[in-house]
A and B are shown apart, each in its own frame.
Chain A
Amino acid sequence: MTSNETNTEKPNKSPVGWVFVVLIIIGLAAFIYGILSPHPEKAWQAYLINFLLWSAIAQGAVLFSAVMHMTKARWSGPLSALSESFAAFFPLSFVLFLLLFLGRSHIFPWLHADLHGKEVWLNIPFLFTRDCIGLLVLYAIGFAYLYNALQLRSSANQAQGAFRKMIRKGWIRNNRNPEQVKKKMTIWAGLYILAFTLVLSLIGYDLVMSMDPHWVSTLFGGYTFVKAFYVGLGALIILAAVTRIKKGKASGLEPSHFHDIGKLFFAFCLLWADFFYVQLTVIWYGNIPEETHYVIERTLMVPWNTLAWTIFGICFIIPFVILLNKRVKSAPVFMVILCSAIIIGFWFEHLLLLAPALSHEVTTLSVSLSDGLISLGFLGLMVVAVSYFLNRFPELTDIKAGEAA
């Protein structure tokens, strides 16, 4: 795991790769400029939004592979191998979480508030300890799953590296027996799915819901991890589409694969909206001021109301109508556009959940240039991490990978 720290120094050598390295530098510069400016809280808010969004993408995409293995699905083919490459963002995500500690006074509005007994749960040392352990456990299980999964996928006659040697050794220790490896994969996949739900719930409660410390929704954890799987699938479709466009038939990705994952994506679009609706209905029926103020502030009051309905349109209504069509789901180029729009939609969804609590007296919606630049920096990090991983394991984007799954 230590050599993952060198991710940023060893991008792939094509000129496109350098664009993303430049994006990281620009993002970093914008962030440092932001925290040195008179309003560091704006930069930290953008940082938190991006940390949550990109971590969710990585965690959700890896979940795809675990779920496919658990359900013994055969339709996914090369898609599950591709989804594992998102695990390369795990170490980065963990480091990014640790850096969040530096901005604690800007991102936790409850820090100096009277919490009426909640301070037992909401205090900085406990919050960072439990989230840190949670993420560590989730990522360790993810890598343990990956360690076994890659034994099946990687072939011996590729260029050797420290990672590959380790995986090779594991393969020999398992007597080169696929059944034995698959059994271990099943255990780790099950644990990953369990850890995913628990840790993402925890992150959702601690880093998003706690921003409004007097508001409670028991469903918020579920909402968070369903959302994470939804954006994770979106990112996976983008990666698959780019692979297909770049490598053509050699990638092993057929239109039918896009059709099938498009259907799953569609299902999670519905499920996300369902979780949102279920949460809303209970709050609406109960009509208790402690609960309703959160929804009213975000859906009925200026400046958030238009944003809220735009997000609902981009993340649910538009994809719902478009994804009914089979032809669209099988067209990689179109899916890239749609999934990108949805991921941007979820960036704003995080903004909607966090910003009203972090900046109370705003009357206009302000998304500055530096927010965009910081986000591009995170995009760069993700792309560099994933392409680093895929360069190490080129057989993941090769046609042989599909048979091993």
Chain B
Amino acid sequence: MQGKKYIMGLFKDEDQVVSTLAALKESAYKFKRVHSPIPSHKIMAALDLKKSKVGWFTLVGGILGLISGFALAIFCAVQWNLIVSGKPVISLIPFFIVGFEFTILFAVFGNVIGLLTQTRLPNYKGMKYYDPRCSGEHFGVLAACDPTQQDGLKEFFQQNGGEVKVFD
């Protein structure tokens, strides 16, 4: 790891995490990620992440779905050209149901593809820098620094009210 040292601060309190994140941004240490046992709006806001692109995948999926739904219904109807109770062969009003269902289906597909490509999934190896307590009652803030700064980062986490775990 080119001599980079990974250190995690473990916190029991959500607000401590938020204040630590703010302080970390000011410091020279490199912030890596937060492990949270619960979804937290406060931490999301403090992280100030870029907007996720998953929504675009869903939108494109939905639009493609609408088109393919209508295309499928029209294609099938044209194969037989049967006139049923005087209705036109290509009648858009009932085909809308197929179009609508395909919109939902393809939007879901798009969403799943977006999720897989945008969130580094699937991940079989598991995380290298992780503490099982983050699935329990602790929030984990992971940061990296040069080995020389190691003690400083440790102290930094302790000052902010967390326990420290150092990764080899």
Whether B85 pairs with A281 at a CB distance below 8 angstroms is no
The answer to whether A281 and B93 touch across the interface, beta carbons within 8 angstroms, is yes
Q: Give the residue among B86, B87, B93, B94 with the most A Cβ atoms within 10 A.
A: B93
Residue of B nearest to A274 (CB): B100
A-facing residues in B45-104 (Cβ within 8 Å): 59, 85-87, 93-94, 96-97
Residues of B within 8 A of A284 (CB): 93-94
Nearest chain A CB to B130's CB is how many angstroms away? 32
Whole-angstrom distance between the alpha carbons of A124 and B160 in the complex? Answer: 77
**A287→B86 contact, CB < 8 A:** yes
Could you say which residues of chain A place their CB within 8 Å of the CB of B97? 281
Chain B interface residue bracket vs A: under 10
| Known contacts A280-B93, A287-B86, A287-B87; 9 further A-B pairs (Cβ under 8 A) | A277-B96, A281-B93, A281-B94, A281-B97, A284-B93, A284-B94, A285-B94, A287-B85, A324-B59
Closest 3 CB pairs of A and B: A284-B93, A281-B93, A281-B94
Q: Which residue of B lies closest to A286 (CB)?
A: B85
When distances are taken between beta carbons in the complex, the residues of chain A under 8 Å from B96 are 277
* Residues of chain A in range 171-206 having any CB-CB distance to chain B below 8 Å: none
For B85, the chain A residues whose CB sits under 8 A away are: 287
Report the bound CA distance from A287 to B85 in whole Å: 9
A277 to B92, CA, bound (A): 12
The 0/1 profile, CB within 8 Å of B marked 1, for residues 271-297 of chain A is: 000000100110011010000000000
Tell me the smallest distance from the CB of A275 to a CB of chain B, in Å: 14
A77 to chain B, nearest CB (A): 14
Q: A70–B93 Cα gap in the complex (Å)? A: 37
**Which residues from B are CB-within-8-Å of A281?**
93-94, 97
Q: How far is the CA of A150 from the CA of B94 in the complex (A)?
A: 48
B contacts with A: majority SS? helix
A-B contact pairs, 12 of them (CB 8 A): A277-B96, A280-B93, A281-B93, A281-B94, A281-B97, A284-B93, A284-B94, A285-B94, A287-B85, A287-B86, A287-B87, A324-B59
B83 to chain A, nearest CB (A): 13
CA–CA, A284 to B94, complex, Å?
9
Residues in A241-298 with C-beta less than 8 Å from chain B: 277, 280-281, 284-285, 287
Q: How far is the CA of A324 from the CA of B93 in the complex (A)?
A: 24
Smallest beta-carbon distance A98→chain B, Å: 41
Contact partners of A287 in chain B: CB under 8 A = 85-87
Give bound CA distance, A280 to B96, whole Å: 12
Chain B residues lying within 8 Å of A285, measured Cβ to Cβ, are 94
- For window 215-233 of A, CB contacts with B under 8 Å fall at none
Interface set, chain A 274-329, CB cutoff 8 A to B: 277, 280-281, 284-285, 287, 324
Distance between Cα atoms of A285 and B86 in the complex (Å): 10
Rounded to whole Å, the gap between the CB of B40 and the closest CB of chain A is 15
Name the residue of chain A whose CB is nearest to the CB of B96.
Answer: A277
Query: Smallest CB-CB separation from B62: which chain A residue?
Result: A324
State in angstroms the CA–CA spacing of A223 and B87 once bound together: 26
- Min CB–CB distance A312 → chain B (angstroms): 13
**What residues of chain A lie closer than 8 Å to B87, measured between beta carbons?**
287
- Nearest chain B CB to A300 CB, angstrom units: 13
Q: List, in ascending order, chain A residues with CB within 8 A of B86's CB.
A: 287
A277 to B100, CA, bound (A): 12
Q: How far is the CA of A277 from the CA of B93 in the complex (A)?
A: 9
Taken together as a complex, chains A and B put the C-alpha atoms of A281 and B93 apart, in Å, by: 7
* Min CB–CB distance A231 → chain B (angstroms): 24
Task: Give the complex CA separation of A324 and B86 in angstroms.
Answer: 38
- B145-160: CB near A (< 8 Å → 1, else 0) gives 0000000000000000
- The distance in angstroms between the C-alpha atoms of A223 and B96, with both chains bound, is 19
Closest to A325 in B: B55
A287 to B86, CA, bound (A): 10
- Shortest distance in angstroms between A287's beta carbon and chain B's nearest beta carbon? 7
Per the bound structure, the CA–CA distance linking A364 and B86 in Å amounts to 32
Which residues of A sit under 8 angstroms from B59, Cβ to Cβ?
324
Q: Closest approach, in angstroms, between the C-beta of A298 and any C-beta of chain B?
A: 15
> A256's closest neighbor in chain B, by CB?
B41
Q: How far is the CB of B132 from chain A (nearest CB, A)?
A: 32
Chain A, residue nearest B93 (CB): A284
B102-159 at interface with A (beta carbon < 8 Å):
none
Q: Which residues of A contact B93 (CB under 8 A)?
A: 280-281, 284
Q: Which residue of B lies closest to A280 (CB)?
A: B93
In the complex, A330 Cα to B59 Cα: how many Å? 20
A26 to chain B, nearest CB (A): 44
* A324 proximity list for chain B (CB < 8 A): 59
- Min CB–CB distance A179 → chain B (angstroms): 28
**B11-33 with Cβ < 8 A to chain A:** none
A213 to nearest B CB, angstroms? 26
Contacting residues, chain B, for A280 (C-beta < 8 A): 93
Bound-state CA distance A182–B31 (Å) is: 47
**Minimum distance in angstroms from B102 CB to a CB of chain A:** 16
- Please, how many angstroms separate the alpha-carbon atoms of A174 and B87 in the complex? 64
